[in-house]
Amino acid sequence: MKSSAARWTLAAFLVILCVGPSLGETFPVTVEAGKPKVLWTRGSVDRVTCATDDAAVNAFRIMREPLHGSVSITTVTTTFKATNGPSPCDGKPFKPVALVYTPAKGFKGADSFVLERMVRHGRVDVYDPAEMAITVK
């Protein structure tokens, strides 16, 4: 006879296997034909030196590629602006990780891709699946 812990482990495995990861939110976005668009950025700065932290390097993972374009994960250079009040780093150079979608040449219409984005749940970073529903005009 299996122990109680073994039964719970097997039950948890079967639930994960049968249910699988659920698709999180769907994010609709409009993109101009022929032009790449930054869909998301992720990054933070060191509050003393104002240097961009590299903690966001693994912020996104592409799970299903778009059919009518491409998606890349890269860094972009922009100007820092704190989202939670003034910061001594406001206005300084900032290089967050960016998720960039580029429609295929000549394509107009609907496209989509699935990604996992790292989100903070309490003190733990986990990957949350999301779909990008793109309209290319």
Residue type, 57: V
Domain membership of residue 57 (yes or no) is: yes
What's the rounded Cα separation, in Å, for the pair 64 and 81? 32
pTM: 0.70
Residue 117 · residue 60 · CB < 8 Å: yes
Q: Around 103, how many Cα atoms within 13 Å sit in the side-chain half-sphere?
A: 20
Helix (H) or strand (E) holding 28: strand 26-31
What's the rounded Cα separation, in Å, for the pair 126 and 137? 34
Q: What is the pLDDT of residue 23?
A: 56
Beta bridge partner(s), residue 115: 62, 130
What's the rounded Cα separation, in Å, for the pair 39 and 28? 10
| Residues, the chain | 137
Domain membership of residue 33 (yes or no) is: yes
The whole domain housing 93 covers 16-136
Domain membership of residue 7 (yes or no) is: no
Domain membership of residue 86 (yes or no) is: yes
Q: What is the pLDDT of residue 127?
A: 75
Domain membership of residue 32 (yes or no) is: yes
Domain membership of residue 8 (yes or no) is: no
pLDDT in tens, the chain (137 residues): 555 554 444 333 333 333 334 457 888 999 999 999 999 888 878 878 888 876 566 678 899 999 999 999 888 888 888 888 888 889 998 888 888 999 999 999 999 999 887 766 666 667 778 899 999 99
